[in-house]
Chains A and B, each alone.
Chain A
Amino acid sequence: MAAILDAQGLNKNFGAVTAASDINAAIERDSVVGLIGTNGAGKTTFINMITGYLKPDRGRIRYEGRDITELAPRDVTRLGICRSFQIPQLYASLTAFENMLVGIGVVLRNAGRGGFFSRGRALVPGHDLPAEDVAERILERFGLAEYRDKNAQVLPGGVRKLLDIALTMVAKPKILLLDEPTSGVSAEEKFVIMEMIMAAVRAEGATVLFVEHDMEVVSRFAGRVLAFYDGRIIADAAPEIALADPEVKRYVVGGVLRA
């Protein structure tokens, strides 16, 4: 299968700290990739470089054959690469439903629909439904229907996390980057959340890269693992192979256990 995303020779330094050192990774379409590594290993830097938040010092990132290295986050998003955040980034004063509507509004606007001069209710591209229906449907898919009219700032942590991920789904992403989707969530809830995300992803069809510290979650949901250590990828293989790798065991899995 052809790679949908191809990172070649990415390097990034923050002063004396090396956040990325010769990162090479070709991500296949519709695959689910787990990114593991201790804090500061370079996972989020990798995501930030893909989304255009950080520019690599060297190296290129190609998406569907197109060089996206220099694009700004909003332009990367418009191409179909959406991300969620380790700490949910919501519109705190708006309800869950309104949060969705804002996101859908952006999708409408980028498609030139629903503007000042348009008549009637515009259909959201990719969903072919009016904005309100798309919002309801995605909230339902993530089990958030009961929180529809609650303000984002009063929602419990796990719910905020889900809403944060639900927000990425409005644009029908082709690549979904999830930064620690289950952090701050109880051990039992982790699998529930991941099941929900993966069900939504399967229904919509997207390639997924997710950062995760829980190796059980990784081995259950990822088809491939990229293990980061000190800004490098030290293992790139199927989970059972990668997690059995001595270097990964020493630097990543052991590191997580100690932490």
Chain B
Amino acid sequence: MSRDRTPRTLALILLALLVSGQFLPQWTLFLVTVALAKGLVVLGLMILLRCGLVSFGQALYYCIGAYAAGMLGRLFGASDVFTLMLAGMAAAGLVGFVLGFLLARYRSIFFGLLSLAVSMILYGLLVKTEALGSTDGFHVLPSTLFGLRPADAWVRYTVLAVALLVAFIAALLVHRYLGTPLGRLASAIKDNEIRVEYMGASARHAIHVKYVIAAALAGLGGALAATTVGHIDPEMAYWTTSGEFIFITILAGTGNVIAPFLGALVFGVIQTVAFGISPNTWQMVLGGSLLVVIVFLPNGLWSLFRGRKAA
């Protein structure tokens, strides 16, 4: 049996970014932090995709996480970054738990479109809610770390460090989960659900658990995005946001828990570069790159690392 090198690789990446982050320009710190936030959402989508399920509405939980964090500041003045992220994760996880009873019954396109429908309901509600700024959204209070606000020059780095730590822990936990019997059931459910039932397991229960994990991760990512960007609006629940997450999931591949973060970073870089070159047609560049990945790396960017960093 090959040794599990993922935890060590994750720790090395964490260290490398923590160190290099101190010397990188501010805009790259922002780019990486946003990529980590999106990577958390995609990590959840990866768990679902391994079961053969594509959620076209994961932005629902991204948005819930962001609004939970934002409202906690707005209503109670809470600003601690960890509190906000926990709140975002808990709110999304709870909604995921409730909706999971419905969604875990559906497969393939029905699962996808139902999740899309639910996310658009939230979008509709938020757009109509003036107390929450309707289409404009609202600003999120500057966050603090253990009651302190770092000096302006260090804010970006501090947020990045927190994001790195959170992403590191999330990736480690998900990695461990994927190795448990319930985690391993994913590809079995994708391949042959009848056999899963005849082996004495409940596919619906397994999917429900995975759905809640994915929701909680998306909520965590949403809260992180809210504190990083400092502003939230209903666009976070819009279907194009969900589409972006699926885009990154396909770009990244489902081979390893590192892949979603790598995919999100590559996505961010392509987006930034493409926008710089051609502000009006940057989506074309993005679409082209996905096309290239699908044709040449059908298992996503992660297949570039396969073998050397086996899961």
Contact = CB atoms under 8 A, between A and B. Distances in A.
Given A106-B181, A115-B180, A92 B192 contact: yes
Contact of B188 (A51, A94, A110, A115): A94
B188 to A, nearest CB: 4
Interface stretch (A31-39, A72-80, A138-146, A228-236): A72-80
B101 to A, nearest CB: 17
A31 B194 CA distance: 28
9 nearest CB pairs, A to B: A105-B181, A77-B200, A91-B191, A109-B181, A89-B195, A106-B201, A102-B188, A78-B200, A106-B199
Interface residues of B, number: 22
Interface string A104-128: 1111111000111000000000000
Nearest to B200: A77
Nearest to A75: B200
A102 B185 contact: yes
A217 interface: no
From DSSP, what is the main secondary structure of chain B's interface residues?
A: helix
A74 B198 contact: yes
Interface string B173-197: 0001100111011011011101111
B1 interface: yes
A101 B191 CA distance: 14
Contacts of B194: 89
Given A77-B199, A102-B188, 9 more contacts: A74-B199, A90-B192, A90-B195, A93-B190, A94-B191, A105-B181, A106-B199, A110-B200, A171-B199
Given A89-B194, A90-B192, A116-B177, A102 B184 contact: yes
A39 to B, nearest CB: 21
Contacts of B184: 101-102, 105
A130 to B, nearest CB: 11
B1 A132 contact: yes
B197 A110 contact: no
A209 interface: no
B164 to A, nearest CB: 23
29 contacts: A72-B197, A74-B198, A74-B201, A74-B202, A77-B197, A77-B198, A77-B200, A83-B198, A91-B187, A91-B188, A91-B192, A91-B195, A92-B191, A92-B192, A93-B190, A94-B191, A102-B196, A104-B181, A105-B182, A105-B184, A106-B181, A106-B185, A106-B200, A106-B201, A109-B182, A110-B200, A110-B201, A114-B180, A167-B195
A59 interface: no
A226 to B, nearest CB: 22
Interface string A151-181: 0000000000000000100110000000000
A205 interface: no
Given A108-B181, A115-B180, A116-B180, A89 B188 contact: no
A123 to B, nearest CB: 13
A115 B190 CA distance: 21
A73 B200 CA distance: 7
B162 to A, nearest CB: 25
B191 A93 contact: yes
A149 to B, nearest CB: 12
A98 B195 CA distance: 14
B285 to A, nearest CB: 33
Interface in B24-75: none
Contacts of A106: 181, 185, 196, 199-201
A102 B199 contact: yes
A115 B176 CA distance: 10
Contacts of A114: 180-181
A104 B162 CA distance: 39
A103 interface: yes
Contacts of A103: 199
A31 B201 CA distance: 28
Contacts of B191: 90-94
B176 to A, nearest CB: 7
A83 B198 CA distance: 7
B180 to A, nearest CB: 5
Contacts of B176: 116
Contacts of B198: 51, 73-74, 77, 82-83, 89
Contacts of B192: 89-92
A170 B1 CA distance: 21
A91 B194 CA distance: 10
A104 B184 CA distance: 11
A74 B181 contact: no
A116 B177 CA distance: 6
A80 B191 CA distance: 24
Contacts of B199: 74, 77, 102-103, 106-107, 167, 170-171
A105 B200 contact: no
Contacts of B190: 93
